[in-house]
Structures are given as structure tokens and as C-alpha cells.
Structure 1
Amino acid sequence: MSTRVTSLAEAEAYVASVGLDVAALAVVVAEALGEDLGGRGVLAPGTGQGVDVTSVATIPADAVAHGEFVARRPGVVAGLPVAAYVVAVVLGSVVEPVGEFAVEVLAEEGDRVETGDVLLRVQGGTRGLLTAERVALNLLTLTSGVATATRAWVDALAGSGTRVRDTRKTTPGLRMLEKYAVRVGGGVNHRMSLADAALVKDNHVVAAGGVVPAYERVRAMFPDLWVQVEVTSAEQARDVVAAGATDLLLDNMSLAQMSEVVTELKGRAEFEASGGLTLASAASVAATGVDFIAVGAITHSAPILDIAMDLV
């Protein structure tokens, strides 16, 4: 079943329907369009807004075109509402003259797509479509790349009960979209920011004088927050669980070490493996019984999914 967007309000509703914050996305898109139009954000007509000089010079203002967003490689698609929103912002408010437009979304978030699949069809002013093209594609190819990378880990862990979880190793300013793409790909989000959950890492342990003092200080100041504690040995794991910790990050442990910790402490804490993990080792790590595998690469190193817009 396709989704049709013919106004900015419909685009905003589509974005909200997949759980994305419309106001936060508006900031991201405004900044991205500002990069392309020679100013920060989307500037109102008459305030110094730049234009797509090539399109303005070569295309009549009243020209109308049809375009298709086409997958150039197989993968998992994510960010279709974002692309539709970009088109709606540009054709609905940024370019002059503002006219009618339509975006028909032909895929669903999380779909596996093949080379040649048409993901969206767009119709509207030619200048506007070409102005929106790059920002829409930059965000769509990025989020689809993250979803594709995440799905590869989900597939590698299939049947194990272990889930792949992201990190804060995200592109500055695009964390919301990258973490959304992880969810679309079947992964699980870790904390969004430093403020909404605590993670006691090795440097906190050094600064506090030990893993237990570090954990206890966090728990005392923020008694209602979720707290995860990074440990590097079975001894640290035993000590901090005895102090009340219920979520451990097993950092750079061998398979044998992880198995020892999970076997001894299962039922008293959840466990997340981290450090030097690969798709090839995913099943072996999952076999230790950990609940999650932390993979920074699904955001910081995911290649884009090649998608293009063709006028037809």
C-alpha cells in the first residue's frame, strides 16, 4: 500500500507516524538546505536566500517534471518519510513559485529492496525537484545504509536471542536519524544522550577510584536512571553486581571470559558485549549468552545505500 503526500502538513504527519520528532527533523533539514542554498536554515524570500543557480538558469519557472527515486544497489530502505518531507519543504515553501506537488511512496520502512526498485515517485516544479534532490538523497541514502548494516547483524544473530544495539558513535547532528535507522533495521537503541542514562566507563572507574565507587556515586545522585557499568574482568563483574548493578557492558572480553561471567551472574544482570566484534564472530559471541552486542560500526562506518533520483 502506497503513501501519498501532497502538502507539508501531510509530510509532517507521515514523519510523526514512524516515531520521528517533526520539530527536530525540521532543524536538520533546514540546516541541510541552508548548506545548499547559501545560508543557515530555510530563509524566507527576500531575506537573502540563495537559489540553485543552475536550475534557475536552465529551467523555466513554470516547468513541471516527474521523478523517481530508484535503488541502485540491494539493501534495506529507511528514511522514506524524511525524503518526502524534504520534497514537501522545498516545493511547498522554499522555491518560487510555490505550486502543487505530490510524493508517492512505493515502499515501506524496513523493506529489503533490489537494484532498480522505485522507492518514491515525485511530481512538481522542476526547479524545486532538483533543489530538493541532493538533501533528500543525502538523508535517505545515509539512513538506508545504517538500516542495511544493522540488518546484516540482525541476520547474523538470528535465532540466538541476542540483539544488536547501537552506540553514541553517530554523525554529529544526525543521531536521531541514525538511531531511527537502527530501529528500522531491527536493532535496539542504547541511550540517546549523556543525560538520559548513565554508562560507567573505564575513565569514570579510574576517576572514582574503582568500579563499585563509581557505580554507587551514580546511583546515589540519580536513583531513578538506568545505569550500565563497563567491566573488563569477572572480578569487576562480581563486585559491581554485588553492589546492586543490573546491567553490565563486557568490554573486550574473550569468549571464555564472557561465558564465565554470564553463567555465574545470569538472572542477576543483563549483559552486553562490546569491543572488536565482527559479523563473522557474532554467532560465537551470542553463544556466550549475552543479551546484546554493541556495534558502533552500524552508525559510524555504515556505507550509504546507493539511491538516485531520475527525471522520467
Structure 2
Amino acid sequence: MSLRQYEYALAVAEEGSVTAAAELLRVAQPSVSQQIRNLERELGVDLFARTPTGLVPTLVGRAFLREAEAAVNAARRAKAMARAGADELVGELVVMAQMGLGTRQLPGALGALRRRFPRLEVTVFEEPNPAELERMGRRGVIDLALVASTCEEGAVDAHHLGDEEFVVVLGDEHRLLAEDRVGLAELAGEPWVRFDRDSALDGVLRDVLREHGLAPTTVARASQTATAVRWAAHGLGVTLVPASAVPHGHEHLVRPVFPVVSQPVIAAVRRGAGRAELALLELLRQESWSRSAVLMA
């Protein structure tokens, strides 16, 4: 079966005769008749009933024609998108960000990308679980990912964009708000708002607490950085998040910590990247990734 046969069958159904269908398609009548016969022979069914008033789709013919129309329309859309793509980016770009990374920078870059290429569809996922992110990368689902480290050598091209500095979020009346910078040792005995156990963000927090001899009391776990910040702001406990992940309106409750806690931000772009991925990568490079700029944003 071919799309041409589908088009011939749809034309016959629309016009009610082979002659009219041939005129519509601007082809010879015998060609249409032969293609319809070949199609019915291959399917093993009659698609049309011959009546005194013309050709009428049979019950099975109507079912077939619905699917044939969908296939022809899909092929036409694909062709149109391919032709448009020669001058303008079209299609879908799938982006994934490790939770907490590029929370402010990624939206700015994506907004610029959409303004430049309005027909490009962008789907963004925030993935807290690095193992799931890696699985999706191996399946070829992700075009570009923001991660703290790449796991699979040779599978992607890694581009270091900058570093995210972590900050502590305190309650509205917390005693440490009087400090310009909070020592991690000063957080001993504090209750903590943490993250999903299998998330990369909670892994960072766990390592920091262990390295500084802190045995935290976990009072809550959040699956989103914004949620953890809001809970901390209401005094439920303190939390540690990348500076750019602090929602607007909560900056006054944030303090840098010492020793400094930071992690790299890497754009992992699949090998053989197309124009869309490379355009987004360039826009991400133009965003501010310096620690001081992020903290003062």
C-alpha cells in the first residue's frame, strides 16, 4: 500500500466515481481504476460498492478511509514542516533540567528561543531523580539537559555553563538573619526541610551535612525547590537550595553559607545535535551564571 493509493481512494469516495476522481487528481482514469483494484486485492476486501448512482464506500471501506485520511494528512504536515524547516526551525525540542538547576536562567533562554523561532515547540521537564534522567538520555528522548555531572561518557557533548552557589533559607524571624553569611556549623540542631531521597538535590544536602558533622532532624521532604523555600520561610525548618532556585519575594530570607557550597551547571547536548539544540545552548551561554550575579538577581 502507498500514500498515492490512499489519495486515489479518498478522491473516489469524495467524487463518487473513478472518472471524477481522475479529473480531480489530474491523472488518467485507467490509472485510478488500476490503483483501486490493486488496493482492494491487497486488502482482500471491497472498499466500494458499485451502485447505479456511483461508487459508495462499504462499511469496511469507511473504516479504512478514516485511517487513510489521517495518514495522508500526517504525511502532508510532515512534508510542510520539513520544507519550512529549511528556513525556520519547526518540530519539538525536549529539554530536561535536574531539579534546582538554572531555575532563572533556563526560562530566559527558552523565552528568547521561542521569540526567535515561534513555530518550534519546546517541552521542558524538571527531573529530581538522576537515574531516571540518565535512562531517558539513553533512550534518546532528551535533546538537551541541564545537569551537575554527566554519567555516560561519549553519549553527549558536555558544556560547562557556570556554577550554582547554594544558599540557606531561613524563617522570617530566624536569629541568623542578622548575619551577612551563615556558617554551616551554626546550623547544628536546626530542623531541616529536605528533598526526595533519590533526588540529586537531596544528595548534595546529605553530603554537605555529613562533611560538616551535622546530624539533621528532617521535618519535611519536598519534591520542588520552591515548595521547600516556602516551607522554610514559614519557619518549618531551614533548607539549602541553589541561589537561582529562590522564588521572587523570598530573597530577604536567604543567606550565603561558608564554606561555600556550589555545583557546576553542565548543558548535556545529544551527539549529532541539530540547529534547535545548538541555538538553545548559545542562548544559555548568554545567561549570567556567575555566583555574585545570581545572588544579587
TM-score bracket, normalised by the shorter chain, equals: under 0.3
> With structure 2 as the length reference, what TM-score do the two structures score?
0.25
Structure 1 or 2: more strand by fraction: 2
CA radius of gyration, larger in: 2
> With structure 1 as the length reference, what TM-score do the two structures score?
0.24
